[in-house]
Structure 1
Amino acid sequence: MAFKNMPSQPMARTLELALRLGHVKRIPLEKRNGVENSDIENQFSHLLILDFESTCWKNRGTAPPPEIIEFPVVLLDLSSGEILAEFHEYVMPTENPRLSEFCTELTGISQDTVDNGIPLKTCLHLFNKWIRSVVEQFGLVLDNSKGPGNMYTCCTWSDWDLNLCLENECRRKQIIKPLELCSWIDIRSVYRRFYQRRPHGLNGALRDLGVEFEGREHSGIVDARNTAKLVYKMILDGCILKQESREEVDLDAQIGAAAPNKDKPRSIFTVSPPKRKKKLFGPRIYAKENLDNVKIQVPT
């Protein structure tokens, strides 16, 4: 999304000044190294990592609903960190076809680019063809209970992409959302709980782990590739992603179980799509994280 990784300008200026004065001390994040349980492995072998860009306006309070203008997906192999395949299309907005100056400046996407793009319905049709080809090529399955295969799911930086932007736009335009895009891991939420800290955007999350962000921020395909780098780094640090079931989960109980416990080698909680819908607009757009179905095991 256009807004989700925007840095705070006052904070950025403060950090720049502190760096110039030599008053910044970087403290590496503690790795929870209880990885001696080698029999515990990620249930997912691959992730579809998405990062949409949408129409946006400087004044969010009076802005119309966002429409996707860039639709990037990368297929990440969790065993190697390699990006195996990419899907990337620019999408033509139809409700508000003129991009704001703010949107073009933030995303780098020009009016000509979206004018030459394709409608969302066509984009999803092409995505369906692409996902069928990579599923066949790499032997992927959404649910391994229905047969053997390499299990995969989607992954996004926050709930915005799939729970808000695509969900609401498909409803407004009466488009069927692909099954593959109906469940996902919110890696921002996982990051917060795994490292026990709040990241300052995707760039900040990478920087805190000593990984460099490559490319232009707020380019959807660039953000998706960098999210893939972040996920693989988290896997190397011992983050375990497991899907237990599709049943309702007691969120409070799960988060409570994730609290550090010296008596247990690992802590467990779950992450998945939320059960309740969020409001499309408002200052608390990220107030609810998606937390059930996928188990994260945090080494201690």
Structure 2
Amino acid sequence: MTTRELARKIGALEVIRVSKTNSSKQPFDFLFVIDFEATCWESADRKTKCPEIIEFPAVLYDVKNGEIVDEFQEYVMPTENPKLSDFCTQLTGIQQNQVDTGVPLSTCLFLFMKWVNEKKKLYGMEFPNSDDKAEKTCAFATWSDWDLGICFKNECNRKRLTYAKIFRKWIDIRHLYKFYFKKPFNGLSGALSELGLTFEGKEHCGLHDARNTAKLVGRMIDNGAILQLTRC
């Protein structure tokens, strides 16, 4: 018997119930859910080294139908600290040969934007801060502000890469979760568990984290959450 099953049996499991909101009421039709993995070190080295993206994944989530309709993933070659730490390899599962044969961040951004533009055209959608108009809307979504607001932004500045306007607005799913459900939780897997879901795959694999964030979004919508930009 699992801990959740035991808690339910003895009446110690608190179930969150919020009135459902139809997905058609949501302001966004699609989400590009991003979850980067970056170079990292033990605490002693964190203050002297800057994280570089080494896995650049995204899933395209259809809000109305509640499903992932496409995925993007590239491994990225770090140039400031090319050698992965043992800590980083153990945490993320990313191996040295994967980043050695990866693409530079500039190339990854080119490939990513090509993929994004193809999906925009295919589904007839546009970002809210775009100069163009479309029938449907889309937005970036992340688990916390770290991915786009800290890691990606800082790396673009250091490497003199364009921090495009569309990356400057996104939905922080962790922030929305706290706002709507007001329950203590331990990371993404804890938030999933609180809403009766389980993490599928390997934690700190960027693609798996993105998939699970999208799954959490679907459950949050089912329980009444309204998607909204949290960083503009």
* TM-score of the two chains, using structure 2 as the length reference: 0.90
Distance, in Å, in 1 between the alignment partners of 2:216 and 2:63 is 11
Distance, in Å, in 2 between the alignment partners of 1:205 and 1:228 is 12
Q: CA deviation at 1:40?
A: 8.0
After superposition, where does 1:44-59 map in structure 2 within 5 Å?
44-59=28-43
Q: Structure 1's 238 and 111: CA in aligned 2 closer, same or farther, altered over 3 A?
A: same
Q: CA deviation at 1:28?
A: 3.4
Report if aligned partners of 2:36, 2:53 keep a CA contact under 8 Å in 1. Answer: yes
After superposition, where does 1:15-164 map in structure 2 within 5 Å?
27-33=13-19, 35=21, 41-59=25-43, 61-143=46-128, 147-164=133-150
Report if aligned partners of 2:172, 2:230 keep a CA contact under 8 Å in 1. Answer: yes
Q: Unmatched 5+ residue regions in structure 1?
A: 1-15, 243-270, 275-300
Distance, in Å, in 1 between the alignment partners of 2:16 and 2:60 is 29
Q: Who wins on radius of gyration, i.e. which is larger?
A: 1
Q: CA deviation at 1:197?
A: 1.8
Q: Secondary structure at the match of 2:227?
A: strand
Q: Structure 1's 145 and 99: CA in aligned 2 closer, same or farther, altered over 3 A?
A: closer
Aligned to 2:202: 216
4+ runs deviating over 4 angstroms: none
Q: Secondary structure at the match of 1:241?
A: coil
Q: Secondary structure at the match of 1:62?
A: coil
Q: CA deviation at 1:183?
A: 0.9
Task: Report how many residues are paired.
Answer: 229
> 1:128 is matched by which residue type in structure 2?
M
Distance, in Å, in 2 between the alignment partners of 1:40 and 1:219 is 31
Q: Structure 1's 118 and 25: CA in aligned 2 closer, same or farther, altered over 3 A?
A: farther
Report if aligned partners of 2:74, 2:108 keep a CA contact under 8 Å in 1. Answer: yes
Q: CA deviation at 1:29?
A: 3.5
What's the % identity of the aligned pairs?
45
> 2:105 is matched by which residue type in structure 1?
L
Q: Unmatched 5+ residue regions in structure 2?
A: none
Aligned to 2:212: 226
Aligned to 1:167: 153
Matched, 1:273 2:200: no
Q: Secondary structure at the match of 1:153?
A: strand
Distance, in Å, in 2 between the alignment partners of 1:78 and 1:194 is 18
Distance, in Å, in 2 between the alignment partners of 1:191 and 1:223 is 16
Matched, 1:178 2:178: no
Q: Structure 1's 52 and 39: CA in aligned 2 closer, same or farther, altered over 3 A?
A: closer
Superposed CA RMSD in Å reads 2.8
